[in-house]
């Protein structure tokens, strides 16, 4: 495991490899990796940007494909987090393991992520967005985008619940085409949120119905 970025980090990695070749071989050995490894993920709130573009790269034999591009005016993605690396080292020490960094991040400065968000902006029309509040793409009837790409910024936490909430909301905006069929669908019942673990959300049961009734009473 090495901290820093760029050439300095690569040099550190090479020095560590020469000093500890057996440990390095164990860390990089692919066989049994999933069974003997613990992955540490870092969530951050700072904004960073990258563009996914269609480009023809020589290592793909010039076949057109999606390529991650970091532009000059972007806030670059981070590949080294000293506090997280320190925590990983302490954890590995307690377990008798060997801490390591992702090889692609060290050699190429290419960060790995499980949660790429934004890219498909929600707006009022095609001039300021890609989709409307129901996730429908402007200019394409019944074509919807409902995933992490409609989240406008970095949440700093796992986005799965936010994506679920946006999906629930988007689908509530879609007109019911078959009332008889829709009436047979059992609504999701929510329990009261535990105090101190969530936001100021209150209520239980069929929240979608409760929200609709509140909106109707306000109107």
Q: Answer yes or no: do 191 and 127 share one domain.
A: no
Classify 144 as helix, strand or coil.
Answer: strand
Q: Answer yes or no: do 170 and 88 share one domain.
A: no
Q: Decide: 39 and 102 in contact? Cβ < 8 Å.
A: no
pLDDT value of position 71: 85
pLDDT value of position 197: 60
Classify 55 as helix, strand or coil.
Answer: strand
The last residue of one of the domains, among 140, 157, 175, is: 175
Q: Answer yes or no: do 49 and 95 share one domain.
A: yes
pLDDT value of position 206: 67
Q: Answer yes or no: do 45 and 101 share one domain.
A: yes
- Count: domains in the chain: 3
87-91, 113-117, 152-156, 208-212: least confidently modelled range: 208-212
Both tokens of 192, joined, read 């009261």
pLDDT value of position 23: 85
Residue 127, pLDDT > 80, answer yes
Please tell me which residue in 12, 115, 167, 208 is annotated as part of the active site: 115
Q: Answer yes or no: do 44 and 138 share one domain.
A: no
Average pLDDT of the residues of the chain: 83
Q: Answer yes or no: do 102 and 150 share one domain.
A: no
Over pLDDT 90: what percentage of the chain?
21
Residue 200, pLDDT > 70, answer no
Angle between helices 6-19 and 21-28 (to 10 degrees): 110
Q: Give the global pTM.
A: 0.63
Q: Decide: 135 and 36 in contact? Cβ < 8 Å.
A: no
Residue 56, strand partner residues: 64
Identify the domain containing residue 61 by its residue range: 6-108
Q: Answer yes or no: do 71 and 87 share one domain.
A: yes
The last residue of one of the domains, among 55, 76, 108, is: 108
Q: What digits encode the pLDDT tens for the residues 53-97?
A: 899 988 889 999 988 888 888 887 788 888 888 999 999 999 988
| Mean pLDDT along residues 211-218 | 68
pLDDT value of position 28: 84
Does 51 qualify as catalytic in the annotation? no
Residue 52, strand partner residues: 68
Range of 15-19, 41-45, 68-72 with top mean pLDDT: 15-19
| Mean pLDDT along residues 49-54 | 84
């Amino acid at each position: 495991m090495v901290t820093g970025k760029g050439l300095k980090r690569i040099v550190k990695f090479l020095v560590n490899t020469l000093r500890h070749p057996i440990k390095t071989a164990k860390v990089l050995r692919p066989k049994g990796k999933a069974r003997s490894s613990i992955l540490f993920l870092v969530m951050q709130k700072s904004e960073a940007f990258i563009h996914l573009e269609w480009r023809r790269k020589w290592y793909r034999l010039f076949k057109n494909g999606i390529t991650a591009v970091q532009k000059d005016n972007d806030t670059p993605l981070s590949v080294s987090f000293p506090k997280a690396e320190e925590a990983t080292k302490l954890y590995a020490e307690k377990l008798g393991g060997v801490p390591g960094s992702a090889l692609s991040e060290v050699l190429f400065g290419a960060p790995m992520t499980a949660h790429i968000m934004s890219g498909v902006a929600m707006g009022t029309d095609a001039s300021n967005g890609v989709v409307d509040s129901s996730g429908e793409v402007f200019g394409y009837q019944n074509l919807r985008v409902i995933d992490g790409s409609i989240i406008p910024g970095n949440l700093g936490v796992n986005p799965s619940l936010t994506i679920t909430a946006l999906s629930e909301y988007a689908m509530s905006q879609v007109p019911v085409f078959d009332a008889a069929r829709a009436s047979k669908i059992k609504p999701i019942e929510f329990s009261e949120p535990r105090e101190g673990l969530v936001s100021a959300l209150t209520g239980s049961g069929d929240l979608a119905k409760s929200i609709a009734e509140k909106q109707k009473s306000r109107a």
